[in-house]
Copies of this chain bind each other. A is one copy, B any other.
Amino acid sequence: MNGEPVLVLLIEDNPDHAELIIRTMSEHRIVNHINHVSDGQQALEYLFHQGIYSDPASSPRPHIILLDLRLPRVDGLQVLDAIKQDEELKIIPVVVLTTSEAEKDIARAYDNHVNSYLVKPVGFEEFTKLMDDMGYYWLGWNTNPA
């Protein structure tokens, strides 16, 4: 990531999962900041600089988006669709992180150009390992758009 500050946008309504994700990812020194929103409407307002995020300085563009699917107010698949239909936002890698293994969720996510689809492991240790590997892959190895 060329030494520039790395920002993650976490869209997750489960507070236990959010805490675990933030804690694990923060242990990677490559992540400088995680902005957390807890429903789909708030995610869209953040990304499109609306409502309480109308000052773009309050909602800088993330390098990567971690997206839960079952979200209050606006569903994660609708958030994904809005991101990938937008000419400016569509280049941001979106990783779905969900408990859903339903074929139709997986198919719709890939249809809507998700970059990667991860199913949350049930056990704490495996969840932590996934967060480690995911963070290292996307923020260490992957080359993000400018």
Contact = CB atoms under 8 A, between A and B. Distances in A.
A118 B117 CA distance: 18
Interface residues of A, number: 28
Interface of A: 84, 90-91, 93, 101, 103, 106-107, 110-111, 113, 115-119, 130, 133-134, 136-138, 141-146
Contact of A106 (B101, B106, B107, B143): B143
A32 B43 CA distance: 39
A133 B117 CA distance: 16
A42 B84 CA distance: 30
B137 A111 contact: no
A134 B145 CA distance: 19
A109 B104 CA distance: 27
Contacts of A134: 137, 141
Contacts of A146: 103, 106-107
A140 to B, nearest CB: 8
A136 B134 CA distance: 10
B91 A110 contact: yes
Contacts of A144: 117
A116 B116 contact: yes
A90 B112 CA distance: 10
Nearest to A114: B115
